[in-house]
Each structure stands twice: as C-alpha cells, then as structure tokens.
Chains A and B, each alone.
Chain A
Amino acid sequence: MARYAMVTDLRKCVGCQACTVACNSEWEVPTGYARTHVKFTGVAGTFPNLLSSFFVAQCNHCDHPACIDPCPTGATYQAENGIVMVDRNLCIGCGYCVEACPYDARYINPVIKKVDKCDFCSSRIERGLEPACVATCTAHAKFYGDLEEPKSDVYKMVYEQGARRLETAQVAIGPNVYYLGKPEEVDLAFAAFAPHPPRLPRAGELWTTVLRPLVLAAIGATFLGQAVAFFRQLVKGEGLFEDDGEQ
C-alpha cells in the first residue's frame, strides 16, 4: 500500500511563497488563512556569523494522527495511503481537531464554516497532476511521492539522503512531511517551529468513550464549534505571515 509523503529541500527553498499562493488559489483559501505556508526562522548568530532558514508548514499526514480521535463526527479520517482527509459533509466545524493538531496545520474556513487543511492535493493527484505547491515551486525544492516506492524522489531523500521529520520527545506521531538541509539549518527550523502537545489532553479517549454519542445527538455542536473557532481567532489575531520575528 502506498504511503505518501512530501519532502522540502531547505537548501533550495528561498521562501518565495509561490507554494502558499498556489495552494490558496487551488483551494480557494480565504485571505489570511493557509493550508500551507512558508515560515522564516529569523536570523540567528552574531554578525557576520549568521544562520537562517525557512520552514514549510502544512499537514504532516502523521502515521498516528492526533486529529482523528477528537473529531466527534468522524469527518477526519485516514485513507489507506496515509493521507489524512476531511469529509466536509460530516464536518460540523467544532474546531477540536484544530486544537488537537500539534503542528497547527488546520483552520476553520470562515466561509464554509468547516475545517480545512492540506490533503496533498488528492484531487489533483487523481488527475495525474502534482500537488499545486510542488508543481509551482520556483526552486524545485518540494517533492511528493510514495515512500513505499524505492524509485521515488521522496524514498531516496528519506531513506538515502537523510531527510528528517519534525518530532519531539513529547510529540512523536510519525509525520510524513520531511526536510532536507544542512543539519544546523534544519535544527534551527525545527527549534523555531516545534510542535506543541495536543491542546486537548486525552481528548481522544474522552470523546470516543463518553462525549461523542452525546455530541452527535446534540444540535448545539455546531454552535460550540463556531464559538471555539471564534475565540481561537480572537486569541491568535490575524496577519498569519507578518513579522516572523528574529531570534
């Protein structure tokens, strides 16, 4: 069975944001939100011995996704090929998966009031196209393919060239987005954008055993989700890409 993955070669990435906009355009992402975007680490070190890197943020399609169990309706699920999908017909926009994702890869789309995130452009893949971000990458820094396929670029990068994935002692859920680069630059990016533990501890357990049946029945669920999303936005503010800051 296929296991799809993406690799970003940070040695090539120049942070041009072509991927970000191609994705916005492909998926009609509302302005100010993103399914993928490039982050800048800021400059580390002392003049003139400096270091900086980019980091491409998106859904990691983890082997053990933290977002599935908290979903009260089963809208979020993992396909057999590893891609974590959202069934918009089932999504009630409650935002629990948004909180649960350690990589902040999900957002509530304010237009459709449902959760949205990268799905490796599954619908493009079906048509034989590359994901929008890979297809447009000006630096040819982004690669997509099957980790079960030894001839694929991603196989070679992961198993032969040492591409790394962003995990910590606290968050080790098997992300399938990898990064190649000079060790110090990958370290810098990983330190700057380390995942946080899921914000709903033991959420999965709680939901599956007790609350899910209740919520499924409760009409108030939609309202709750919107409330969560609303407050989350209040806390986080807008301007997703502004002032990445320096270290």
Chain B
Amino acid sequence: MGLKVSRREFFKRSTAATAVVATSSAAAAGQHPVGWRGATRVETVATNCEMCFWRCGALAEIKDGKVLKLEGNPEHPLTKGRLCARGNSGTKLLYDPDRLKNPMMRTGVRGEGKFRRVSWNEALDFLASRLLDIKTKYGPESVALFPHGVAATFFTTLMRAYGSPNSAEPAFAQCRGPREVGYALTFGRPLGSPEPVDLEESKLIVLIGSHIGENVFTSQVTAFAEGLARGAKLIVVDPRFSVAASKADWWLPIRPGTDIALLLAWMNVLLGEGLYDKEYIGQYAEGLPQLEAHVREFTPEWAEAITELPAHKIRETARAMGAMKPAVALHPGRHTSWYGDDTQRARAMAILTALLGSWGRKGGIFLPTALNVGKPAIPPFPESKRGRADGAGTRFPFASEEQGVTNGLVDATVEEKPYPIKAWIVYGQNVLQSIPQRPKTHEAINKLDLMVVVDVLPMEQIYYADLVLPEATYLERYDFPQIVESAKRPYIALRQPAVSPLYESKPGWWIAKQMARRLGLEAYFPWAGPDEHLETLIRPLGIDPAVLRTCGAVAYEGRPYIKDRLPSDGQLFPTPSGKIELYSSMLKQAGFDPLPRYTSVEDPPPGYFRLIYGRAPVHSFARTQNNAWLDALMHENQVWLATAAARDYGLEDGERVILENQDGARSLPIRVRITAGIRKDCAYMVHGFGHRSRALELAYHRGAADTQLMTRVKVDPIMGGTGLRVNFVRIVKNG
C-alpha cells in the first residue's frame, strides 16, 4: 500500500479519456505493484470480490504466496475502496479448512456422503463419457445446468455447445426477474445489475421491501447514506422496522402482499391532484387516458382497507413524491419474486417512476451506457429441436431464455415433461438451500442418472452428487470479466488470481475448457488461457491488458441522463411504440392485464404467521455461514416476532422453538427475537442458515433455513417468477 499514490496517479493517467493507452513500467511488464503492510513488503493484486455478486474492487496484499489482507481498491470506479464485512472476510473463505480439496466420486448411496478421491483426469473422463452417453440415449436437452455467478459463463457456453438450452439460475425467477421484465415492458429495457438508482442525487428515496443497510452492496449503501446526508427524504414500505425504516421520514408497515394497492393509490393521488410530470409524460409516454381511468377508483381510502395504512399517510407520501419529482429514486427492489403477481408490481413501480418523470433523470433511475466488448469467434450453437424444458419463452412468455426458470427445470425433472431430464450440473449455487420446495428438489435429484457439483465448499448438495469438482475461490482464479453498463460511468473490471489455487482446486474456466476438450467442443473455447480470453474481450475497448491487470478496473464516460444521450445510444424507449408504455401493448397481446391490478392475498390461518425473510449485512445468501469471522458476528439466525404476538404464545426472548409451516414442514431449532419492530402477523428470519452439511464445521445446524419452510410457491404466469412469501408458520414450543 506504500505505492498507493503511484497506483492512483497511474490510474488517473490511464483512464482520463475513453481511449486508454497509458503505460507504466510495472503495468507494461504486467507486474503487480508492491507496497508495505507494517514492516512487511507485500505485492498487491487488484481483483474483484465474490463474497456476494456486487463484485466490489479489492486489493489482495500478498506475501510469500499468502493473502495477508484484503483492502478495498480505491480506484474502482463504483466501489471506491470500500469493502463490506463479507468482502473483508474473503481470506477466511480462501483459508477455510473445510474447503473441497479434491475431485470426489460418490461410493455410497445418495445422501450418505461416502466418496472416493479421484484424479482430475479420472473425474473429467468419467464426466465426459457419461455426458456423451446421455446425449446418445436421451438427447442433449436432457442435461440441465444450474449456474450462478460470472464464471458460470464458461459453463453456459459449454451447455449451449453441447446442445442443451436448459440452463436456469435463481437470479432470474427467484430474484431479479420480475423487476427486469416489469421495467422492460414499460421502458423497453431492463434495469441490469447493479441497479441504476441515483440514490445520492435523490431528493426522495422510496424503498418498497428493500432493506438497504441489511442488504449490503457497498456502493449502494454509500449512495444511500450520501443521499440521506445531503437531505433526501425517505419513505420505507416494509412490514418490518428495518434499518432503513429506522432512518425513514415515513415508515409504512404495510400488510404484506398488498403493495400494488398502495402503488395504485399513489398513482390515484398523483393523477387526481395533477402532481405528475405532465411535460415528461406528454413527451415520452403513451397510455395516460387508460391509466387515469384505471386508477380513478383506487383512492387512498380504498387502499387503506387493503394495506392497513392510513389514507392520510398514503396521500401525504404521494404528495411528497409529487413535490420532489423528478428527483425521486423509487428503488425497483432486487429479490422481487414474492407473491406471484410480481411482474405487475414491478410494472406499477415502473409506471409510478414514469409519472414522476424519474426515469433517465437526475435523482431517479439513470440510463446504462453500452460498452463495446469483443467476443471470441466461435461456431454457432446447435439448434435444440425440443426447446427449453422450463417453459421460458413458451409457458412463461416473458421469461428470459438466457437465464431460465429454475423451478421450471426442477418441475420438468420430476414430471419428466416435456421430456426427461437425466443430468444436472450445478455450478456456483446450492440447489438444496437456495431453491424452495426442497422435497421436490430431492425428488428431482432421485430421478437423475448424473449429478455433478462444482463448488468451493462442501454444501449439503454434494451429499447427493455423483461427482464433486472442487473449484478455486475467487482469489485464486481468473473469471469472465465484469462488464457493467448500468453504472454512471460504465466499466470493465477484472477478476484475476491473487494466489495459486490451493489443494487440487481448479478455476471454473479450466474445468469448463477441459470438459469441452473431452466432449469434442474445443472450438467453442478458442483461447489458450485467461490472457488470450481477456485480450479478445477488451480489444474493441482499446485497453492495454496490463493496465487492467494493474488497476483492476477501467471506467468510461457515461451518459446516465436523458439530456446526455447521443443518437448512437439508440432509441430512448425501445418498446413497440417507441414510448414509455404506461399501458402495456405487449402484455395485452399476450393475454395479461395491460395495467396492473391488485389481486387479494391469502391471510395467515389462525395461529400462523406469514413467513418473510431477508438478509443480514454479514452474510450472503447461504454461502458465508462457514466463514469464521462472519460466523463470529452472526452464528445463527433468529425468528422475529412482534411483542404482542410473543405474549399471546407465552414466548420468551431468546427461547429456542421450531417453526412448522402450513404443510407440516418443520425447521431446525431457532431462537425467538421479540421485537416491537414487526407487524404481528409476520415472522421474519434471515435467509441462508440451517445448513445440514456436516462437512461445514461452523455452519452445521446453526439456525434454521427459510427455504425448508417454503413448500409452497406462487408462480408468476408472465415470466415464471417463483413467489416465495406465500408460506405460513406456527410456533412449536419445546419442539
């Protein structure tokens, strides 16, 4: 870090303009800068983090092949030197003694956890022969991929090359899918990730179920806190008194599942009182008369009866939005698959954003700027005769065919419809902890001829795998670079190995490429290694790879607001009408409501609470519970219950109980947290705990898994989103 200044100056020189042609002796030689850590001379490698998927810029400080510490990379264009608790804990993943160390082949029955150690050659030869076999017997579509993360790109390429379109990541149907589709239907383009919300420039931030602060993406927290410090007002709609709610000017503890009613009532006030951005709507939008007629009956009083929020508060908050438009940052949410009507909720949020004139305006939602990235020259992928098995593009007309519908693939495997699925390749996710309806997942796995897991840690799913392949951690590998267009300054960021892979672990790109070679699909991986792959990608950007290696990321000038746009940025609203579609022609054509409508949600039966869930700042999904530092900060989750509810059931704070859902599914024991900060019809827990893998020493049987209690889902017919907030739990004392 002693040379931090020179790195900074170097970076400034190298990224001052779009064309980057700077060199320094270190960069030209492809060397990493050196610095000091106390009295120790260290090498610093710039890379990006994977403790979650925001991918903040990190600097690994290395001595004698060991990472001593991770620092934030101050020159990263988005995250500017900040790492969260998880990012700071990356070394504890790298040096986790429980890591998968060798390829392993199952010897016992599924679930038993008996394996024998095999060589990479044996493992890959076995895998290739099985995949060729399955292709001959059942066709290539009968192999499905469950990917997640950037390195997954190599595996999705492999699957497409092999001939299977069946790849589905939870990031779509269980997470961002509804919002991406809802906003794309309205504005013609999806939001992308990181979501382009102009929090720091906003005068009014509106969070609907988003719990920024507990959900930590460093730069988003930075922008959120900065916006508040600059005086932005804050509306938080959440049945729980979240950290964000504690900072809010208006906290609206809504009845879960009724957000569309609130959104319609807000529109009713904005339109009824003429508070919307008339000029903007007149210039850019169509469908206003239909919208006006549609929301006329949805008054705040109508919404009060549904949402249990006082009508005067609904009116007051609507007026605040009207007064502060267009600098209103209505956050689109991230995990948005809640009740099966989620695309319509996202549509309602998008329409509200349009009424406030916030899309493409300062303090609202900003626009992406395209980066011209290169592509390796590969043959076309084979056409699949049978099409996707998960319904993306057919049963779910607006589902992403790139990302797929995870639960659709599970269903297809269980039902063998539209055709049997015989093999699963799981990369970068934990199908047993992350996908709801766990019994169904088990049923699906039992039908498989082959299950392969590529992972860093021995999660519960390895117990069911025929073959386990140990992947190197993000600090030991090159990954597909991160190309971010949805930032005010678009950028490309590199993940490069800080140290060599430990044990026999291998990077994902190597595993995919080796499999391709064995399957005769080498033409789809026409690069010798990471260097050549990177060079192909960045050639059109005009970046010297050495600069990227030294700095970790290179940013370009963006055009985030409508006023900045150039003709070369293309159509502002690439919808069928070329305008913002308040009234959706595409939904109408497909037989769905062209305007969002509130449909009632089922209330918890007597004696039950609605199960809601969220995140803690010190853990990522079900990935980090075995990390020693993060475990020390939070080693189990708790079930939050309202003070009044806890009294009714005679519960004490800290007492261990079992949760049982409406179908009799039971959780592991979990402690009760009694709080005034939640509605009395809800039970809240942090997602990701309750691991069942004995091979995870710290995480094993700590807390309870929310997904175990999600035996029921409600599927969004528009895009296949898996609504997860439709389960109810009761408390079992001394269970």
A127 to B214, CA, bound (A): 33
Residues of A within 8 A of B85 (CB): 16-18, 20-21
* Interchain CB contact under 8 A, A137 and B246: no
* Interchain CB contact under 8 A, B642 and A47: yes
> Which one of B2, B5, B229, B654 contacts A243 once the chains associate, using CB atoms below 8 Å?
B654
* Interchain CB contact under 8 A, B617 and A16: yes
* Interchain CB contact under 8 A, A17 and B674: no
* Interchain CB contact under 8 A, A31 and B229: no
Shortest C-beta distance, A238 to chain B (Å), equals 9
Shortest C-beta distance, A83 to chain B (Å), equals 17
Contact with B along A8-39 (1 / 0, CB 8 A): 01011111111011101110000110000000
Contact with A along B241-258 (1 / 0, CB 8 A): 101111100010100000
Contact with A along B279-323 (1 / 0, CB 8 A): 000000000000000000000000000000000000000000000
* Interchain CB contact under 8 A, A127 and B212: no
Query: Most chain-A CB neighbours within 10 Å: which of B2, B82, B245?
Result: B82
A217 to B379, CA, bound (A): 82
Query: Most chain-A CB neighbours within 10 Å: which of B218, B221, B634, B653?
Result: B221
Smallest CB-CB separation from B636: which chain A residue?
A242
Q: Within 8 Å of chain A (Cβ to Cβ): is B673?
A: yes
Q: Within 8 Å of chain A (Cβ to Cβ): is B675?
A: yes
The stretch of A50-58, A87-95, A101-109 that contacts the partner chain: A50-58
* Interchain CB contact under 8 A, B617 and A17: yes
A189 to B215, CA, bound (A): 22
> Which one of A14, A44, A129 contacts B216 once the chains associate, using CB atoms below 8 Å?
A14
> Which one of B72, B629, B653 contacts A24 once the chains associate, using CB atoms below 8 Å?
B629
Residues of A within 8 A of B671 (CB): 243
Smallest CB-CB separation from A16: which chain B residue?
B617
A239 to B654, CA, bound (A): 14
* Interchain CB contact under 8 A, B653 and A52: no
A21 to B212, CA, bound (A): 19
The stretch of B25-33, B86-94, B110-118, B381-389 that contacts the partner chain: B86-94
> Which one of B225, B245, B633, B679 contacts A17 once the chains associate, using CB atoms below 8 Å?
B633
Q: Within 8 Å of chain B (Cβ to Cβ): is A81?
A: no
Residues of A within 8 A of B518 (CB): none
> Which one of B244, B654, B676 contacts A43 once the chains associate, using CB atoms below 8 Å?
B676
> Which one of B4, B87, B247 contacts A129 once the chains associate, using CB atoms below 8 Å?
B4
Residues of B within 8 A of A52 (CB): 241, 243, 246, 677
Q: Within 8 Å of chain B (Cβ to Cβ): is A241?
A: yes
Q: Within 8 Å of chain A (Cβ to Cβ): is B601?
A: no
A11 to B230, CA, bound (A): 11
Interface of B is mostly: mixed
* Interchain CB contact under 8 A, A53 and B246: yes
Q: Within 8 Å of chain A (Cβ to Cβ): is B71?
A: yes
Residues of B within 8 A of A21 (CB): 85-86, 88-89, 618, 629-630, 633
Residues of A within 8 A of B674 (CB): 246
A190 to B36, CA, bound (A): 38
> Which one of B88, B241, B675 contacts A22 once the chains associate, using CB atoms below 8 Å?
B88
Q: Within 8 Å of chain A (Cβ to Cβ): is B635?
A: yes
Q: Within 8 Å of chain B (Cβ to Cβ): is A73?
A: no
> Using a Cβ–Cβ cut-off of 8 Å, how many residues does chain B contribute to the interface with A?
61
Query: Most chain-A CB neighbours within 10 Å: which of B36, B246, B628?
Result: B246
Q: Within 8 Å of chain A (Cβ to Cβ): is B213?
A: yes
Given A15-B617, A141-B225, A246-B673, check contact A136 B72 (CB 8 Å).
yes
Smallest CB-CB separation from B219: which chain A residue?
A138
Q: Within 8 Å of chain A (Cβ to Cβ): is B228?
A: yes
Residues of B within 8 A of A51 (CB): 246
Shortest C-beta distance, A27 to chain B (Å), equals 10
* A-B Cβ contacts below 8 A, count: 154
* Interchain CB contact under 8 A, B213 and A136: no
Residues of B within 8 A of A139 (CB): 213, 221-222, 224-225
Q: Within 8 Å of chain A (Cβ to Cβ): is B335?
A: no
| Interface size class of chain A, counting residues whose CB lies under 8 Å from the partner chain | 35 or more
Smallest CB-CB separation from A247: which chain B residue?
B676
* Interchain CB contact under 8 A, A25 and B675: no
Q: Within 8 Å of chain A (Cβ to Cβ): is B632?
A: yes
Contact with A along B633-671 (1 / 0, CB 8 A): 111001000110000000001100000000000000001
> Which one of A17, A25, A32 contacts B91 once the chains associate, using CB atoms below 8 Å?
A25
Shortest C-beta distance, A184 to chain B (Å), equals 11
Residues of A within 8 A of B274 (CB): none
A16 to B616, CA, bound (A): 8
Residues of B within 8 A of A53 (CB): 246
* Interchain CB contact under 8 A, A140 and B642: no
Contact with A along B601-636 (1 / 0, CB 8 A): 000000000000000011000000000111011110
* Interchain CB contact under 8 A, B633 and A241: yes
Q: Within 8 Å of chain B (Cβ to Cβ): is A48?
A: yes
* Interchain CB contact under 8 A, B83 and A136: yes
A46 to B676, CA, bound (A): 6
Smallest CB-CB separation from A243: which chain B residue?
B654
* Interchain CB contact under 8 A, A14 and B243: yes
Chosen A-B contacts, 22 in total, with CB atoms closer than 8 Å, are A14-B212, A15-B243, A15-B617, A16-B216, A18-B87, A21-B86, A22-B83, A22-B88, A24-B629, A25-B69, A25-B88, A44-B676, A128-B4, A135-B81, A136-B81, A136-B83, A139-B224, A140-B222, A240-B632, A241-B634, A245-B653, A246-B673
6 nearest A-B residue pairs (beta carbon): A14-B213, A139-B225, A12-B225, A16-B617, A21-B88, A43-B677
**Sample of 19 further A-B pairs with CB below 8 A, known A50-B251, A239-B635:** A11-B247, A14-B224, A14-B617, A21-B89, A22-B88, A24-B88, A25-B629, A127-B1, A127-B2, A136-B72, A136-B84, A138-B82, A138-B83, A138-B221, A139-B221, A139-B222, A243-B673, A246-B653, A246-B675
Q: B residues near A, CB below 8 A? A: 1-2, 4-5, 36, 38, 69-72, 81-89, 91, 212-214, 216, 218, 221-222, 224-226, 228-229, 241, 243-247, 251, 253, 617-618, 628-630, 632-635, 638, 642-643, 653-654, 671, 673-677, 679
